Amino acid sequence: MGRRILVQRKGRGTTQWRNRSHLRIAPVRHPKWAPDKTYVGKVVALYHEPGRGAPLAEIKYEGEKKLHYMVAPEGIQVGQTVECGPDAALANGNTLMLEHIPEGTPIFNIEGSPGDGGKFVRASGLAATIVSIDKSKAIVRLPSGRQKAFSPRCRATIGIVAGGGRPEKPFLKAGAVWHHTRPKARKWPVVRGTAMNACSHPHGGGSHQSPGRPTTVSRHAPPGRKVGNIAARRTGRKTR
């Protein structure tokens, strides 16, 4: 009986592999308020949340006891006024429905369906662009270049997510990578299976570092064998 391989250890769900959710400040969602009313708030503080590349902005809205958090846009500062609603100004950090935002405006934190709080374009330095809007749908160009249709009633925040250029800084040392992956419960460093012993991984062992067998494996393989190309339709280089 060999060692329990990495994919088996991850499936155990112990504290070593569990996300450190106690370090999270708060979920980032657009407020669930009346869609026909505009709310005015002020930026109270800016925070860094472990595991999130973009900073968070803490917002105190007028007449509301509960504090709300949003993905901070570039240029935001403490004391700045932000608005959320149909009558909000077209300014950096304000949240409106897509039907009220002109074409070509950079936006982020877009709702997938009206009222879900925002799911798209939330990473640092990203922004999407509205291509066209009509009564039935709004076409948005995502940072990947893909164009996606949203409901015109979906909300989004105007601006570009703060923290741009974060991936451009090199880590310089291995310890920095370890601390970077730690908040998200990622196991680092990851060793290749071919570099292991035969008792530690299905690809291990042998005179050379090669799997020694095809790396495609069935979807229904047991956890100790399910490594490599899982349920692959095809492998290799395309000739055409």
Fold of the domain built from segment(s) 22-166: SH3 type barrels. (2.30.30)
Q: Where are the domains of the chain?
A: 1-17+187-240, 22-166
- pLDDT tens-digit profile, the chain (240 residues): 567 887 788 777 788 888 888 888 999 999 887 778 889 999 999 999 998 999 999 999 998 888 999 999 999 999 999 999 988 999 999 999 999 999 999 999 999 999 899 999 999 999 999 999 998 999 999 999 999 999 999 999 999 999 999 989 999 999 999 999 888 888 889 899 999 998 889 999 999 999 988 999 999 998 888 899 999 999 888 887
Q: Encoding tokens for residue 21? A: 């959710």
CB 162, CB 72: distance < 8 Å: yes
Q: Phi and psi for 21 in degrees, rounded to 5? A: -70, -20
Q: Which residues partner with 155 through β-bridges?
A: 97
Structure tokens at 66: 């509960």
User: Do 22-166 and 1-17+187-240 have the same topology in CATH?
Assistant: no
Which CATH superfamily, name and number, covers 1-17+187-240?
Answer: Ribosomal protein L2, domain 3 (4.10.950.10)
Do 101 and 156 meet the contact criterion of CB atoms below 8 Å apart? yes
Reduce the DSSP state of residue 71 to 3 states and report it. Answer: strand
